């Protein structure tokens, strides 16, 4: 094996792996497995490029603090680079990103400043800018820094061309966060062969690129507000709530030939399929990118070569919906296997006594003027409530909604979920129109809102409290809903740690 002077020399040269089970017959789908980078993601490349470019230009002084906004992977890459080079690092991150990302960053020596989940990506970016200005720190500006894209032209794109030397590439498929991978690789591939199709994948419920709507920007070109088509989605670090300048450049240079929408559930399904069928362990954003690549592959001519980016490792997602249903304790089949031979038997499963944290404090929603009743939306809501013993009006990617879904699954409660941000309810903007209808019916502006047997229970914590005091069980019984009445569970334990009243920042 090669010898290296330091860990940074190991960045790049990641393997291009052909899929053997998931690809359509007759089409070659190759995945660029970026988890082989030393800190487990494609953003290791970005981090090294931005810091070394700033050193060459003299805009980063020895010992100066580096600051950046991150959903996790860029920050983890920067933490590695800054640790090796001796720069203090401060990162801003929305509080709803996975817990393991924060802990990894702090383990690597970085300081993590959390921003409100409601402020989305623009909020953590604004905080990073404010900290840089207030303290004279170096701001990486990953979303607009050309060093980001240039690194991918020089390394990622070149590696793909070298690995497929002698073969013609039909398509390259990538998601976009900063846009650096999309722009840089597209430039490299199209410079060699202009016929290569470059496909950008994005969440189906947040079609910021496909919409064709311009990104609001300030005088400096940076995003000034969330894109109007953005909705929260399952793919952390993939498609922020704004179109990054580098992504915009890829579009303006005519490098993007197609945009493929991907659902969060399909992203999770394919991330799991990669693990169980190909032995490749990746996160939700990789599953989403593969979903788009397989869509392209199904339409490609026989013998085509398609390259798909897999940005990171699955270990960044342990506390997210990607691992929902992946148990810690043995399930019935595993217990049966244990009992099939003498010794080491687990005949008794210990049940931990539920704790009783207080419900999270909730601010009262601001007063809003009454809006005219939307008859169509009100009729839709009324029918959903009347025709379903249990109904939850929810959002596809909302921590409170996921907590309720997990609780319902644990108790075996069948329910109708009405996701306001789903593609189906975006038709004629029905999801948005349901919001004021729900507020008129409940007096609350928050989501989720839950009904049992036609009785309004309230939001997530209202349901949790109703289960604690027995009111929800009575409503379920009266509505004829079957559930595990003997389950011993504290509903608040289904909240992510950052929402849990006892969780530390």
Cβ atoms of 83 and 108 closer than 8 Å: yes
Crossing angle (nearest 10°) for helices 264-273 and 284-299: 90
Say yes or no to pLDDT of 368 above 70. no
3-state secondary structure of 138: strand
Q: CA 423 to CA 203: how far, in whole Å?
A: 10
pTM, two decimals, is 0.79
- Strands (E) across 271-401 are located at 305-310, 390-394
Strand partners, 451: 391, 456
Q: What mean pLDDT comes out for the span 317-329?
A: 84
Say yes or no to pLDDT of 267 above 70. yes
∠ CA 189-274-108, rounded to 5°: 80
The model's pLDDT over 467-477, given as tens digits with 9 standing for 90+, comes to 999 999 999 99
Whether residue 448 has a cis bond before it, omega within 30° of 0: yes
Q: CA 272 to CA 416: how far, in whole Å?
A: 25
Average pLDDT value for the chain: 91
- For each of the domains in the chain, give its residue range(s) and CATH number, in order of start: 7-41+146-217+227-321 (3.40.50.1100), 43-139 (3.40.50.1100), 375-505 (3.40.30.10)
Give the torsion through C-alpha atoms of 391, 395, 398, 401, to 10 deg: 0
Say yes or no to pLDDT of 25 above 70. yes
Structure tokens at 215: 């990104």
Across 96-100, 130-134, 354-358, 386-390, least confident range: 354-358
For residue 405, the model assigns a pLDDT of 95
Question: Which residues are part of the catalytic machinery?
Answer: 43, 285
Those residues whose C-beta lies under 8 Å from the C-beta of residue 32, and which sit 6 or more positions away, are: 14, 15, 16, 156, 159, 160, 307, 308, 309, 310
Reported as half-sphere exposure (CB side, CA atoms, 13 A), residue 194 has a value of: 2
The edge-to-edge listing of strands for the beta sheet with 111-115 is 111-115, 89-94, 66-69, 138-139
* Higher per-residue confidence, 432 vs 329: 432
Structure tokens at 1: 């094996």
Q: CA 405 to CA 15: how far, in whole Å?
A: 38
The model's pLDDT over 187-220, given as tens digits with 9 standing for 90+, comes to 999 999 999 999 999 999 999 999 999 999 888 8
Q: What mean pLDDT comes out for the span 303-317?
A: 95
Cβ atoms of 174 and 289 closer than 8 Å: yes
For residue 359, the model assigns a pLDDT of 47
| Closest by Cα among 205, 225, 206, 229 to 216 | 225
The model's pLDDT over 35-91, given as tens digits with 9 standing for 90+, comes to 999 999 999 999 999 999 999 999 999 999 999 999 889 999 999 999 999 999 999
Helical ranges in 232-283 per DSSP H: 245-252, 264-273
Say yes or no to pLDDT of 164 above 50. yes
For residue 346, the model assigns a pLDDT of 54
CA distances from 57 to 50, 69, 120, 221, 344 (A): 11, 22, 32, 22, 63
């Amino acid at each position: 094996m090669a010898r290296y002077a330091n860990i940074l020399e190991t960045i790049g040269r990641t393997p291009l792996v052909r899929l053997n089970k998931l690809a359509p017959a007759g089409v070659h789908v190759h995945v660029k497995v970026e988890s082989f980078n030393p800190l487990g993601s494609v953003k290791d490349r970005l981090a090294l490029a931005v810091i070394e470019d700033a050193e060459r230009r003299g805009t980063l002084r020895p010992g100066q603090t580096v600051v950046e906004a991150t959903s996790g992977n860029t920050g983890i890459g920067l933490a590695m680079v800054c640790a090796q080079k001796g720069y203090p690092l401060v990162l801003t991150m929305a509080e709803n990103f996975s817990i393991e990302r924060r802990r990894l960053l702090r383990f690597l020596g970085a300081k993590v400043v959390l921003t409100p989940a409601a402020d989305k990506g623009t909020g953590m970016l604004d905080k990073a800018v404010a900290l840089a200005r207030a303290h004279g720190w170096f701001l990486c500006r990953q979303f607009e820094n050309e060093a980001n894209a240039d690194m991918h032209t020089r390394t990622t794109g070149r590696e793909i061309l070298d690995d497929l030397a002698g073969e013609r590439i039909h398509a390259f498929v990538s998601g976009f966060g900063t846009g650096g991978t999309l722009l840089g690789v597209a430039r490299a591939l199209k410079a060699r062969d202009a016929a290569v199709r470059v496909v950008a994948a994005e969440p189906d419920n947040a079609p910021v690129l496909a919409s064709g709507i311009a990104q609001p920007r300030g005088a400096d070109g940076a995003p000034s507000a969330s894109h109007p088509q953005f909705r929260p989605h399952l793919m952390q670090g993939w498609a922020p709530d704004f179109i990054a300048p580098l992504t915009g450049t890829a579009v303006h240079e005519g490098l993007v030939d197609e945009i493929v929408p991907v659902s969060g559930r399909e992203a999770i399904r394919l991330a799991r399929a990669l693990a169980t069928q190909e032995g490749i362990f990746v996160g939700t954003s990789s599953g989403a990118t593969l979903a788009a690549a397989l869509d392209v592959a199904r339409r490609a001519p026989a013998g085509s070569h398609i390259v798909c980016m897999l940005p990171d490792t699955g270990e960044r997602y342990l506390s997210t919906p990607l691992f929902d249903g992946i148990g810690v304790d043995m399930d019935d089949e595993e217990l049966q296997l244990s009992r099939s031979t003498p010794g080491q038997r687990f005949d008794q499963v210990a049940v931990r006594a539920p704790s009783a944290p207080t419900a999270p404090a909730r601010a009262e929603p601001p007063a809003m003027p009454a809006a005219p009743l939307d008859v169509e939306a009100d009729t839709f809501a009324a029918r959903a409530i009347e025709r379903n013993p249990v109904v939850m009006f929810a959002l596809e990617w909302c921590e409170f909604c996921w907590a309720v879904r997990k609780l319902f699954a644990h108790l075996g409660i069948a329910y109708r979920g009405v996701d306001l941000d789903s593609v189906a309810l975006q038709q004629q903007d029905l999801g948005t129109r349901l919001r004021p209808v729900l507020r008129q019916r409940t007096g609350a502006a928050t989501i989720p809102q839950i009904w049992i047997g036609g009785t309004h229970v309230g939001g997530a914590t209202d349901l949790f409290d109703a289960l604690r005091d027995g009111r929800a069980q009575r409503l379920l019984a009266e509505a004829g809903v079957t559930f595990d009445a003997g389950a011993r569970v504290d509903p608040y334990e289904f909240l992510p740690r950052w929402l849990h009243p006892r969780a530390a920042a």
